[in-house]
Amino acid sequence: MIIDYQELTTIARRLRRHIISMVGAAGSGHPGGSLSAVEIVVSLYFGVMRLDPERPDWPQRDRFVLSKGHAAPVLYAALAERGYFPVEKLNTLRQLGSPLQGHPDRKALPGVEVSTGSLGHGLTVANGMALAARLDKADYRVYVLLGDGELQEGMGWEGAMAAAHYKLDNLTAIIDHNHLQIDGAVEEVMSPEPLAEKFRAFGWETRTIDGHDFSQIMAALQWARQVQGKPAVIIAETVKGKGVSFMENQAGWHGKAPKAEEVERALAELGD
């Protein structure tokens, strides 16, 4: 695994380029929340998680659940760069017959652990995986990425309560706290704040970080591994549309594809 932050930064830039290119080619998709999660996903797939792309069903692999399934482009980009399938396949996103569907489908694409997209379900599924590891006496870890707007769903809090009740210390939740959802500011639509205090009250260990700073992300993931007797949540403060100036902090880019000239402009900003 990679622990060189400069190399992780280079990979993150490639993922952002992939996200822009594939969503632009598809003419639909969700760039904003994919871009905000890049450093988190890169840290997991290239810095922390135990994986074998040649054996996507390896029983001892760590599991990743993309609960905010509309951010599928960032997952697909990571899987391609990690070697699960050819990078060239990325530009088949949302095409008829492509395994790269608008939301992840575990039956269509090796490396996808859970079919997600119906918001609020990911944490409860991750709980089940963590419980299964305990029953099987396996040492793999489970990571779940949640959206902050997603935490308006009741099932997420049922999952939070259950994870603490069962003392799932092999589970790490990460919140992509970019403060925007399709209808606008999360705090205005239905505020989930105060997030850290709520998770703490539900029985979790909590930590808040800059979700674009690799040193903070990697340190937090290491911290989560050391928590015992309870689940850990990392609240990652992020920027919607991170890396593309005209997309940053704009709710309108939640689920809108860039046009050809916007793709060109974004790729120029991101560089090689």
Question: Tens of pLDDT along 145-178?
Answer: 999 999 999 999 999 999 999 999 999 999 999 9
Q: Which pLDDT belongs to residue 272?
A: 78
Determine the Cα–Cα distance for residues 124 and 49; give it in Å rounded to an integer: 20
Report whether pLDDT(139) > 80.
yes
Task: Tell me how many degrees the CA angle 121-176-169 measures, rounded to the nearest 5.
Answer: 65
Confidence at residue 173, expressed as pLDDT on a 0 to 100 scale: 98
Q: Mean pLDDT over residues 186-215, rounded?
A: 98
The pLDDT, as a whole number, for residue 96 is 94
Q: What's the pLDDT tens digit per position in 215-253? A: 999 999 999 999 999 999 999 999 999 999 999 999 999
Superfamily (CATH) of domain 5-270: Thiamin diphosphate (ThDP)-binding fold, Pyr/PP domains (3.40.50.970)
Mean pLDDT of 206-210: 98
- The one-letter code for the residue type at 56 is P
Give the chain's mean pLDDT: 97
State the pTM of this model.
0.97
Report the pLDDT value the prediction gives residue 242, as an integer from 0 to 100: 98
Give the confidence band of 2 by pLDDT, cuts at 50, 70, 90: low
pLDDT at residue 97 greater than cutoff 90: yes
Write the pLDDT tens digit of every residue in 15-68: 999 999 999 999 999 999 999 999 999 999 999 999 999 999 999 999 999 999
Q: How confident is the model at residue 3 (pLDDT cuts 50, 70, 90)?
A: confident
Looking at residue 197, its pLDDT comes to 98
Predicted pLDDT of residue 215: 96
**What would the 3-class secondary structure string for the chain be?**
CCCCHHHHHHHHHHHHHHHHHHHHHHCCCCHHHHHHCHHHHHHHHHHHCCCCCCCCCCCCCCEEEECCHHHHHHHHHHHHHHCCCCHHHHHHCCCCCCCCCCCCCCCCCCCCCCCCCCCCCHHHHHHHHHHHHHHCCCCCCEEEEEECHHHHCHHHHHHHHHHHHCCCCCEEEEEEECCEECCEEHHHHHCCCCHHHHHHHCCCEEEEEECCCHHHHHHHHHHHHHCCCCCEEEEEECCCCCCCCCCCCCHHHCCCCCCHHHHHHHHHHHCC
The one-letter amino acid code at 77 reads: A
